[in-house]
Structure 1
Amino acid sequence: MSKIVDLTHTFKENMPVYPGDTPPELYQTRDLAKNGYTYFQLNSGMHVGTHIDAPLHMIADGQRIDSVSPEKFIGRGVIVDARGVKIITADLFKEKIIKAGDIVLVFTGFSDKYDDPHYFTDFPVIDENFAKKMVELGIKMLGTDTPSPDKEPYNVHKILLGHNVLIIENLTNLGELLEINDFEVIALPVKIDAEAALARVIARYEN
């Protein structure tokens, strides 16, 4: 029997956003009792909550998220335990078997601070050699339970997206996968003509 782990933060009013980004607006415009149906309106940027970055986010003439093949969003998952580490290096996955087409998830435990203002300023980052190794290995996507894999000047973003490795940001519940040796990641973004998209991300394994 399959077990599902939801790796997605709930999108809601007053959710935290990256400093400088416009907070999303999620509000009800129709009421079932008054109007005969319920209707919610959403005004939001693409980099709020759990989302996927496509190459256009950092690469001139890069792919938009709607043009990425759906095959890219599903793959074998590999988790890298990076708890307690401020700079995440390639040494952390030397014991892992990472294959072309895998989706690598970096578990820092930082999603526990999601509602803390420090979540967007003090998060651990991935170094450039880690990103280059991911490109060399041919992975599909790299996900992290932080707001970003790096900080300005965003070289890790540019390395990954420049080689069509998509980036999943603001994941949660990665700790539930630490003891799971074989799992699949399904990370489905909204099909939108943009540089990124809100996404529902799950992991699935046989219980």
Structure 2
Amino acid sequence: MCNACLIESVRRDAMSRRHLLMGAAVAGAAAVALGPVAARPALAASSGRVVDLTHAWDEAFPTFDGKPGIAYEPDKVFDRDGYQLWKLTIWEHSGTHVDAPLHFSADGVSVDQIPVGQLMCPLCIIDISAKAADDPNAAVDAEDVEAFIRDHGDIPAGALVAMRSGWAARVADTAYRGTSDGALAFPGFSRAATDLLAGMDVAGIGVDTLSLDPGNSADFAVHYSWLPGGRYGIENLAGLDDLPATGATIFVGAPKHKRGTGGPARVMAVV
């Protein structure tokens, strides 16, 4: 091959590579520019107001089994050591907390393995407070989900659907856990409702009570169907009364201890 031919070949190759790189750069810039737009349906447009959905909790906070969910032991005391430090013993399912798939399955996803993209999502709130006022074991039924969709539009895939029963206002009362004779009684989801939500690719469900299932459930049908499907739940939510039915984004600060079946979480919403 002559030198002139070789030079021309190199020049064409260089021009080809330049066009390829320019095309890649343009495509990359377009992808970056479109990223927030593409993400907009999965995140609520925010005015910046933050609502805390987490109860402060200590040894007196109600638990499903009636035993304290946290214990404090002083390890360092300021007057003696110059700083303060508690040794905490925490039961995973106490306070405002996450139920991971592993909680009700032999080999499900542990709390540290929940994809982070599922912990920041659109929040949809189904209000059953009127039913709960008449029936302490009221449930979110499939009909409630369908009515929500009629009133507010489709529930987006990847959303968290929370039940607002008004129960959070009772948290300092024994009625939060159940009846005066010790029977568990509080609202939750029905299996028919969560089966419907699973078909919509909802990421998680939440309740403002002690359990995803109503207090009088004998078989934990929601726990045994919802969690093993790779989805999570949140129990003992607070602050739902301060949010609209749609339009908020929830941030679930799930703990990240390995092999965890769940754990206390700091949960917030931005609206």
After superposition, what is the alpha-carbon deviation per residue over 1:127-175, rounded to whole angstroms, capped at 9, x for unaligned?
Answer: 1110101100101110110101213311111111121120000001101
Q: Relative to structure 1, is the Cα distance of residues 21 and 63 closer, same or farther in structure 2, using a 3 angstrom cutoff?
A: farther
Percent sequence identity over matched residues? 27
AA aligned opposite 1:164: G
Q: 2:53–2:240: 8 Å Cα contact kept in structure 1?
A: yes
Structure 2 residue aligned with 1:42: 88
- What is the alpha-carbon distance in structure 2 between the residues aligned to residue 126 and residue 90 of structure 1? 9
Matched, 1:26 2:91: no
The correspondence of residues 157-176 of structure 1 with structure 2, limited to 5 A, is 157-176=223-242
Higher normalized strand content (fraction of residues):
1
| TM-score computed with the length of structure 1 as normaliser | 0.92
CA drift at 1:117: 2.3
Structure 1 residues 15-24 or 180-189, which shifts more? 15-24
Q: 1:98–1:137: 8 Å Cα contact kept in structure 2?
A: yes
Structure 1 unaligned regions, length at least 5: none
Tell me how large the CA RMSD over aligned residues is.
Answer: 1.6
Matched, 1:69 2:115: yes
Q: 2:188–2:207: 8 Å Cα contact kept in structure 1?
A: no
- What is the alpha-carbon distance in structure 1 between the residues aligned to residue 188 and residue 267 of structure 2? 21
Bigger CA radius of gyration: 2
Matched, 1:88 2:140: yes
- What is the alpha-carbon distance in structure 2 between the residues aligned to residue 11 and residue 71 of structure 1? 27
Structure 2 residue aligned with 1:140: 203
- What is the alpha-carbon distance in structure 2 between the residues aligned to residue 55 and residue 6 of structure 1? 24
After superposition, what is the alpha-carbon deviation per residue over 1:97-117, rounded to whole angstroms, capped at 9, x for unaligned?
Answer: 201111111100111111222
- What is the alpha-carbon distance in structure 2 between the residues aligned to residue 26 and residue 127 of structure 1? 36
The alignment partner of 2:169 has SS state of helix
- What is the alpha-carbon distance in structure 2 between the residues aligned to residue 183 and residue 129 of structure 1? 25
The alignment partner of 2:163 has SS state of strand
Determine which of 161, 169, 173 is the counterpart of 1:116.
Answer: 173
Q: 2:69–2:93: 8 Å Cα contact kept in structure 1?
A: no
CA drift at 1:93: 2.5
- What is the alpha-carbon distance in structure 2 between the residues aligned to residue 35 and residue 22 of structure 1? 28
Structure 2 unaligned regions, length at least 5: 1-46, 132-137, 178-183
- Aligned length in residues: 204
- What is the alpha-carbon distance in structure 2 between the residues aligned to residue 13 and residue 129 of structure 1? 35
